[in-house]
Chain A
Amino acid sequence: MSDVHGSGKFLVGIFDDDDVVLQAVKEVKNAGVRIHEVYTPFPIHGLDIALGHPRSRLGIAAFMFALSGTLTALALTYYTEGFDWPMIVGGKNSYSPIVYVPIIFELTVLFCALGMVGTFLISNGMGPTVKPLMYDLRTTDNKFAMAIDLSKNNIVEGDIEQILKDSGAAEVNVKQF
Chain B
Amino acid sequence: MSHVTSAVRPPLVTGGKTYADVTEDISRQVEGAPTREWTIAFTISVVVLIYGTACVFWTWWEGLGVWGLNKTIGWAWDITNFVWWVGIGHAGTLISAILLLFRQKWRTAVNRAAEAMTIFAVLCAASFILMHMGRPWLAYWALPLPNTFGSLWVNFKSPLVWDVFAISTYFTVSLVFWYMGLIPDLATIRDRARSKVSRYIYGAFAMGWNGSAKTWARYEYMSLILAGLSTPLVLSVHTIVSMDFATSVIPGWHTTIFPPYFVAGAIFSGFAMVQNLVLIIRVVFKLEDYITVEHIESMNKVITLTGSIVGVAYLTEFFIAWYSGNEFESYTFINRATGPYWWAYATMMTCNVLTPQLFWSRTIRRSVVWTFVLSVIVNIGMWFERFVIIATSLHRDYLPSSWAMFHPTLFDISDFIFTFGFFFTLFLLFSKFLPVVNMAEVKAVIKSSSERLPVSVSGVAKGERVANPTFNKDVE
Q: Mark the stretch among A26-34, A44-52, A148-156, A158-166 that contacts chain B.
A: A44-52
- For residue A18, which residue of chain B has the nearest CB? B2
Asked if B172 contacts A20 (CB within 8 A), the reply is no
Closest CB-CB distance, A45 to chain B, in whole Å? Answer: 6
Asked if A48 contacts B213 (CB within 8 A), the reply is yes
Asked if B205 contacts A128 (CB within 8 A), the reply is yes
CB pairs A–B below 8 angstroms (17 shown): A3-B214, A3-B215, A17-B472, A18-B2, A18-B447, A42-B444, A43-B444, A45-B1, A58-B218, A58-B222, A81-B157, A102-B240, A120-B180, A120-B222, A126-B207, A133-B210, A142-B19
* Docked CA distance A159–B473 (Å): 27
Which residues of B are found within 8 Å of A127, using beta-carbon distances? Answer: 207-208
Asked if B211 contacts A125 (CB within 8 A), the reply is no
B interface: dominant SS: helix
Q: How large is the interface on B (under 10, 10 to 19, 20 to 34, 35 or more residues)?
A: 35 or more
14 further A-B contacts with Cβ under 8 Å, apart from A4-B208, A113-B226, are: A3-B210, A3-B212, A43-B444, A58-B221, A77-B156, A80-B154, A85-B152, A102-B159, A102-B162, A102-B236, A107-B169, A121-B207, A132-B206, A140-B190
Asked if B23 contacts A141 (CB within 8 A), the reply is yes
Which residues of B are found within 8 Å of A19, using beta-carbon distances? Answer: 1-2, 447, 470
Asked if B176 contacts A114 (CB within 8 A), the reply is yes
Which residues of A are found within 8 Å of B204, using beta-carbon distances? Answer: 128-129
Which residues of A are found within 8 Å of B219, using beta-carbon distances? Answer: 43, 120
A44/B216 contact (C-beta < 8 A), A87-B155, A126-B208 known: yes
Which residues of A are found within 8 Å of B69, using beta-carbon distances? Answer: none
Asked if A41 contacts B156 (CB within 8 A), the reply is no
Which residues of B are found within 8 Å of A102, using beta-carbon distances? Answer: 159, 162, 165-166, 236, 240, 243
* Docked CA distance A16–B443 (Å): 13
A131/B208 contact (C-beta < 8 A), A16-B473, A42-B440 known: yes
Asked if A48 contacts B214 (CB within 8 A), the reply is yes
Q: Is A24 an interface position by the 8 A CB rule? A: no
Asked if B471 contacts A17 (CB within 8 A), the reply is yes
Asked if A39 contacts B210 (CB within 8 A), the reply is yes
| Chain A contact residues, CB within 8 Å of chain B | 3-4, 16-20, 22, 37-48, 51, 53, 56, 58-59, 62, 76-77, 80-81, 84-85, 87, 89, 92, 99-100, 102-103, 105-107, 109-110, 112-114, 116-117, 120-121, 123-134, 137-142, 170
Asked if B441 contacts A42 (CB within 8 A), the reply is yes
Asked if B212 contacts A117 (CB within 8 A), the reply is no
* Docked CA distance A48–B443 (Å): 18
Q: Is B225 an interface position by the 8 A CB rule? A: yes
Closest CB-CB distance, B437 to chain A, in whole Å? Answer: 13
Contact partner of B229 among A53, A112, A124, CB < 8 A?
A: A112
* Docked CA distance A22–B216 (Å): 14
Closest CB-CB distance, A86 to chain B, in whole Å? Answer: 10
Asked if B222 contacts A103 (CB within 8 A), the reply is no
Which residues of B are found within 8 Å of A131, using beta-carbon distances? Answer: 203, 208
* Docked CA distance A113–B155 (Å): 26
Which residues of B are found within 8 Å of A22, using beta-carbon distances? Answer: 1
Using a CB-CB cutoff of 8 Å, which residues 116-160 of chain B contact chain A?
144, 147, 152-157, 159
Asked if B220 contacts A142 (CB within 8 A), the reply is no
A16/B472 contact (C-beta < 8 A), A40-B213, A76-B144 known: yes
Which residues of A are found within 8 Å of B444, using beta-carbon distances? Answer: 42-43
* Docked CA distance A121–B172 (Å): 17
Which residues of B are found within 8 Å of A100, using beta-carbon distances? Answer: 156-157
* Docked CA distance A162–B31 (Å): 38
* Docked CA distance A141–B20 (Å): 6
Closest CB-CB distance, B96 to chain A, in whole Å? Answer: 13
Task: Give the 4 A-B residue pairs with the shortest CB-CB distance, closest first.
Answer: A130-B208, A142-B19, A48-B217, A80-B153
Asked if B474 contacts A141 (CB within 8 A), the reply is no
Closest CB-CB distance, B156 to chain A, in whole Å? Answer: 5
Asked if B162 contacts A103 (CB within 8 A), the reply is yes
Asked if A117 contacts B176 (CB within 8 A), the reply is yes
Contact partner of A142 among B1, B23, B173, B232, CB < 8 A?
A: B23
